[in-house]
Amino acid sequence: MDYQAIRYEVDGGLARITLNRPEVMNALNRQMCAELADALHRAGGKARAVVLTGEGRAFCTGQDLSEAAQAEVFDAEQGLKETYDPMMRALMDCPVPVIAAVNGPAAGAGASLALTADVVIAAESAYFLQAFTRIGLIPDAGGTWWLPRQIGMPRAMGMALFADRITARQAADWGLIWEAAADDAFAEVWQARARFLADGPTQAFVRAKAALRAAGDNDHAGQLALEARLQGECARTADFREGVAAFLQKRPARFQGC
């Protein structure tokens, strides 16, 4: 696919996907959703970690309402099923760790997009906004699934109904995101985190992610069985052998991702 609405780069095992419609604060249209889904599938097969960020002053401000306004009939249900759902499933199903580097506002489906990533690092000037009720809609793109799980029902309900801005610092204090970084240190922070993942034990990261994603659907016995199976797979990797050797030799591990 020829990317127009995003940029896709891979360097040293790290894939960087940049939402690239800064003139509309990286609002989502059909083209961007399709390109992002394609890039995530590509990155999952080639990279050891992924960073998703935005160009310009915003991360993503959600649906491009001008696209919706131009349609003779705006079928939100069909639009979500055909456009948003494949993108969100591609993000959720990406096997390698995904960092959302939230450089600015993440609103509406843009907030859901960020919060579906495995790790969210935001600049302190960024904010998260479930803006849907402001235009008579409900949170979508997985927002109603993620929010209660991440911050509990009272805060999730407040975000959905009042559509208040949640600052990056508040989001970090609530446990909605991993980290809020000072604006002048933001790039350095997310780049260091991303490089750590790209250089680390990829197969362990993949299986840790899979185990944690499955935990909500498993009972305790089922989760123990899953852990045992995935740990057995980890123990057969070259990364495990390298990690043990490095520990015994008191040197940094040199993981190869296999």
Q: What is the DSSP string of 61-105?
A: -SB-HHHHHHSSS--HHHHIIIIIHHHHHHHHH-SS-EEEEE-S-
| CA distances from residue 1 to 32, 37, 42, 138, 232 in whole angstroms, order as listed | 12, 11, 10, 32, 37
What type of residue is 11?
Answer: D
* DSSP β-ladder status, 49-54 and 106-107: unpaired
pTM: 0.93
Amino acid identity for residue 241 in this structure: R
pLDDT at 66: 82
Q: What is the pLDDT along the chain (258 residues), one digit of tens a residue?
A: 899 999 999 999 999 999 999 999 999 999 999 999 999 999 988 899 999 999 999 999 999 888 766 665 567 888 889 999 999 999 999 999 999 999 999 999 999 999 999 999 999 999 999 999 999 999 999 999 999 999 999 999 999 999 999 999 999 999 999 999 999 999 999 999 999 999 999 999 999 999 999 999 999 999 999 999 999 999 999 999 999 999 999 999 999 876
Domain made up of 6-198: CATH architecture: Alpha-Beta Complex (3.90)
Cα–Cα distance for residue pair 121/87, rounded to 1 Å:
20
β-strands 6-11, 14-19: how paired?
antiparallel
Write down the pLDDT at residue 80.
Answer: 87
pLDDT the model gives residue 1? 84
Which pLDDT score is estimated for 114? 97
Long-range contacts (CB closer than 8 Å, 24 or more residues apart) made by 147-154: 147/115, 149/216, 150/115, 150/175, 150/176, 151/175, 151/176
d(C-alpha 139, C-alpha 130), whole Å: 6
- Domain extents for the chain? 6-198, 201-249
According to the model, what pLDDT value does residue 238 have?
A: 95
Q: What is the CATH number of domain 201-249?
A: 1.10.12
Q: How far apart are CA 31 and CA 115, in angstroms?
A: 21
Amino acid at 99: I
Burial pattern 190-221, b for ≥16 Cβ within 10 A else e, equals: bbebbbebbbbbbbbbbbbbebeeeeeeeeee
Q: What is the CA radius of gyration of the chain?
A: 19
**Euclidean distance between CA atoms 180 and 121, whole angstroms:** 6
Task: Please check whether residue 189 is in contact with residue 121, taking contact to mean a CB–CB distance below 8 angstroms.
Answer: yes
| C-alpha to C-alpha distance for 49 and 99, rounded to whole angstroms | 8
Q: How many CB atoms lie within 10 A of CB 129?
A: 19
Question: What was the pLDDT predicted at 4?
Answer: 95
Query: What are the angstrom distances between the C-alpha of 184 and each of 55, 60, 100, 122, 125?
Result: 16, 20, 18, 12, 10
Q: What pLDDT, on a 0 to 100 scale, did the predictor assign at position 100?
A: 98
The first and second tokens of residue 110, run together, are 């843009």
